[in-house]
Amino acid sequence: MASMMQPQIILLKEGTDTSQGKAQLLSNINAVTAVGDVVRTTLGPRGMDKLIHDDKGSVTISNDGATIMKLLDIVHPAAKILVDIAKSQDSEVGDGTTTVVLLAAEFLKEAKPFVEDGVHSQNLIRSYRTASTLAIEKVKELAVSIEGKSVEEKKGLLAKCAATTLSSKLIGGEKEFFATMVVDAVMAIGDDDRLNLIGIKKVPGGNMRDSFLVDGVAFKKTFSYAGFEQQPKKFDNPKILLLNIELELKSEKENAEIRLSDPSQYQSIVDAEWNIIYDKLDKCVESGAKVVLSRLAIGDLATQYFADRDIFCAGRVAEEDLNRVAAAAGGTIQTSVNNIIPEVLGTCEIFEEKQVGGERFNIFCGCPSGRTATIVLRGGADQFIEEAERSLHDAIMIVRRAVKNSTVVPGGGAIDMEISKYLRQHSRTIAGKSQLFINSYAKALEVIPRQLCDNAGFDATDVLNKLRQKHAMQSGEGASYGVDINTGGIADSFANFVWEPAVVKINAINAATEAACLILSVDETVKNPKSESAQGDAAAGAMGRGRGGGGRGRGMRRR
């Protein structure tokens, strides 16, 4: 009787939502599967695009997994983990963002029946981690190195990797054209892996094939004053002066006050202002520079002054573009025009201003350092150019990774089928429940070739049966066979140059397994309510401020 009379212990604030146990885990798995279903149809060369329209009215058309995940604005706490792994895959290797989301969702989908049957999630996690380690070892074993080839051969191989990435994008129809451009751009920056050294400029109009690569720096013509049209627009081997100062008459920043006893002194003050700017301009001319760029404004006086002396100038140049000119031309950005020595000036073979579509571009070619490149993108609609830029970003990342880790694996679902076969064989050597769990992990990997078939409109069951049969051959010659998107059958992905860097697959398997294990390890979700009293206090405070601000203060004159 005494035990029944014990008071109830309240730990959490009233209104706190707690859910735990098996039902909670299954709810999280269902949420993750729902997110996977959203991006499922975007996988592969025949993947569909998503049109996302946000509350600000901007429209994004994309089939890049990371972009879609960012724009979905997911509120479910467990499903947000998929957004994070898509972002990490995008920043780490650039491609495979849809793959990583699909794999994580499929691993959990395969785990769901076991959870419903009462299997402890720690057993699943242990087996999944073991399977992940085995899968990554197998990928490394199957990877083929492209090291030790001549520069031309290596360029060709890298272009194949870029073309595989671009084949699933909106610009897939021109993948060879863009793949070569991407490889040339990455080769231009050499060992420096700063992504901002490759600029991508977008100019609406024309068609995709009007896009071109500048072996140097290109940026849009900046705002200009009268006198600009009299400046020369082309130079051979010019000296380039980079500044971070204003070249215009400045009014005093503070309310400075000058008292004059003699009106004739006023002219001397005006003359002093003009002498300061003329002194700056004279020093720029004396440096021998033929192209003057500044991050801050270059006024009308300076523009005309430079035009009279056959010097080109541009003010308000974006900091990113100015830094790229400095890296390419070998100059240093100056914050003063005093003591400009030849070492701080940059140079290039050809500088010219050129019309591209409706815009004029300043183009620096043949830079001595040469560690930068600019891709000028053309296309019809703005959304199309935006998506083309995202596609090229993925391709650039992939080529950079392939240059650094020069091993590739066959794409088109070939590597997934081979790992799946290997894990199935391995699971038969294990006694106990974990045999079933590793087998389910192996089955989940087949989602990639299956989805490639579904998205292309082929019979997935038929194609997967053919693939299983080919990969089961003892000789191992079927290891590189994947889905043939063109015919609806199977083909040797390696022979067809459907390649992807091994690091993409390794990272995807790692991230997807980690995410699946993380969600399986959660057994309780606690959702704290917003404090009603805090909201009430804030509202009362706002009302008080409104009342005080609107009324007439004591001691103020009546208007």
- Residues noted as catalytic: 64, 97-98, 394
**Cα-only R_g, the chain:** 32
Q: What are the distances in angstroms from CA 386 to CA 27, 166, 295, 380, 391?
A: 36, 15, 26, 11, 9
Strands (E), 348-436: 350-356, 359-365, 373-379, 407-410
Angstrom distance (rounded) from CA 42 to CA 68: 10
SS (H, E, C) 42-105: CCCCCCCCEEEECCCCCEEEECCHHHHHHHCCCCCCCCHHHHHHHHHHHHHCCCCHHHHHHHHH
Angstrom distance (rounded) from CA 246 to CA 335: 10
* H helices present in 428-531, as ranges: 434-445, 447-456, 460-471, 502-520
Angstrom distance (rounded) from CA 353 to CA 298: 18
What interhelical angle do 382-404 and 175-189 show, nearest 10? 50
Three-state secondary-structure class, residue 504: helix
CB 45 within 8 A of CB 168: yes
Angstrom distance (rounded) from CA 395 to CA 504: 12
Scored b (16 or more CB within 10 A) or e, 138-154 reads bbeebbeebeeeeeeeb
Give me 225's structure tokens: 């004053």
SS (H, E, C) 223-247: CCCCCHHHCCCEEECCEEEEECCCE
Give me 88's structure tokens: 């990490």
Angstrom distance (rounded) from CA 531 to CA 15: 10
